[in-house]
Amino acid sequence: MNSRSQTGRTRKSTGAAILVLVAMAGLAACGGGNGGEDNGGDEEQTLRFGHYQARGPAVEGEGRLADAITESENNSLTIDVGWSESYGAAGELADLVQAGALDIGLVVTHYGVEGFPIHALQTAGFWTSDSVEGLETQRELVNEVFNSDPFEEELESHNQVGLLHQALAPYYLVSPEPGCSLEDLQGARVRSLGETYPAALGAIGATPVSLTAAEFYESIERGNVDYLTVAAAHIVSQDLHEVAPYACGPIFWLGNGHTTTMNLDVWNSLSEEEQEDILSIAEETQDWYFENAIQEEENLVEELSSEGMTFESFPEKDLQEWIEQAPDSIEWWSSLVEDSHPDLDVGALAEQVREITEF
């Protein structure tokens, strides 16, 4: 994804959305919300959680997290999830949480890295056609890198605390017609995402196109793009196989998906027992996210195949040639963080990421 063009689109309404939701948050506080004050865990509270996707297999971790916190007897919280951008678009959610207009939201650097250069590692790609290997690599990145101090400190600087990382399944190239080679991609219009994938597409003669999840179906149905770069879960949740029954891949992976965060003032207003309960639930959900993603990937491919979708592996020779031509996403991330955090040992972090991803 070209963050410059996409950020301009997704953030157009940020100011208005923040003003409206901040006003709503203020009214809620006046009407008995916590308003950032410690209630000792005695008072029932409803926390608003903004999400940019519809609930489905790709984001079931967040749904499971919200349900488990609400159902727990060890806190006084109810989590109200506004799915499908009903509480704000992808590029707005982190700002809304920072401002206190939302209690829980997401850092989604796939739609722009402004303000979160360290978390931009989410958008760094690595390549493998093995689904289990890819998800285990991503799990190690989350456990060893994304939960490290620099990432937590960056969230804190935006008045947020991290709870959960999305386990992001591999990406396929989905199309209305068969075509699964570098030659087929030359001149094709391909849905792009992240920071370096657009350049990787351009390197092989394809044209990257920025689309949000809400635009997938209509764009491929109307022929506005030739390929969608999507995970199997999105194919199922949006019925994309109805209009694009050919899947090529898997092709590549990202460092991880989005990060679920809570407003730091809200977090500090909770009792120690409630905080421990939420962290315990989040930890269990994180483990479930990856275990489920591995099994879910196999189930989804089997389900889609039974419904007539054709899966074809990208030729290994073509994949290696593409990798050689693609930009070094870890080098890109390192340069970004070195500029914004000159005191951080970026080289050590980058080396750790290379050891885990083998790129």
Query: Is residue 217 located within the same domain as residue 310?
Result: yes
Give 54-113 pLDDT, tens digit per residue.
998 889 999 999 999 999 999 999 999 999 999 999 999 999 999 999 999 999 998 778
Query: Is residue 12 located within the same domain as residue 109?
Result: yes
Query: Is residue 7 located within the same domain as residue 32?
Result: yes
1: closest CA among 131, 129, 115, 112? 112
CATH code, domain carrying 333: 3.40.190.170
Query: Is residue 309 located within the same domain as residue 248?
Result: yes
Tens digit of each residue's pLDDT, the chain (359 residues): 333 233 332 333 334 444 444 444 443 443 333 445 555 556 899 999 999 999 988 899 999 999 999 999 999 999 999 999 999 999 999 999 999 999 999 999 987 788 999 999 988 888 887 888 888 999 999 999 999 999 999 999 999 999 999 998 889 999 999 999 999 999 999 999 877 889 999 999 999 999 988 899 999 999 999 999 999 988 998 999 999 999 999 987 878 889 999 999 999 999 999 999 999 999 999 999 999 988 888 899 999 999 999 999 999 999 999 999 998 999 999 999 998 899 999 999 999 999 999 88
Query: Is residue 244 located within the same domain as residue 115?
Result: no
Query: Is residue 69 located within the same domain as residue 152?
Result: yes
Q: What pTM was computed for the model?
A: 0.79
Domain containing 321 equals: 171-254+301-339+347-357
Give 223-237 pLDDT, tens digit per residue.
999 999 999 988 998
**Radius of gyration in angstroms for the set of CA atoms belonging to the chain, rounded to a whole number:** 20
Query: Is residue 244 located within the same domain as residue 291?
Result: no
* 250: CB partners within 8 A, 6+ apart: 128, 129, 131, 134, 170, 171, 172
CA angle at 210 for the pair 237 and 213, rounded to the nearest 5°: 15
pLDDT of res. 161: 98
Query: Is residue 10 located within the same domain as residue 38?
Result: yes
Query: Is residue 185 located within the same domain as residue 271?
Result: no
Cα separation of 106 and 26, whole Å? 21
Residue 273: CB atoms within 10 Å: 12
pLDDT of res. 68: 98
User: H or E stretch including 135?
Assistant: helix 131-141
Cα separation of 64 and 167, whole Å? 13
Query: Is residue 307 located within the same domain as residue 284?
Result: no
pLDDT of res. 20: 45
Query: Is residue 151 located within the same domain as residue 266?
Result: yes
**Amino acid residing at 6:** Q
How many structural domains compose the chain? Answer: 2
pLDDT of res. 37: 54
Query: Is residue 104 located within the same domain as residue 237?
Result: no
201: closest CA among 232, 173, 233? 173
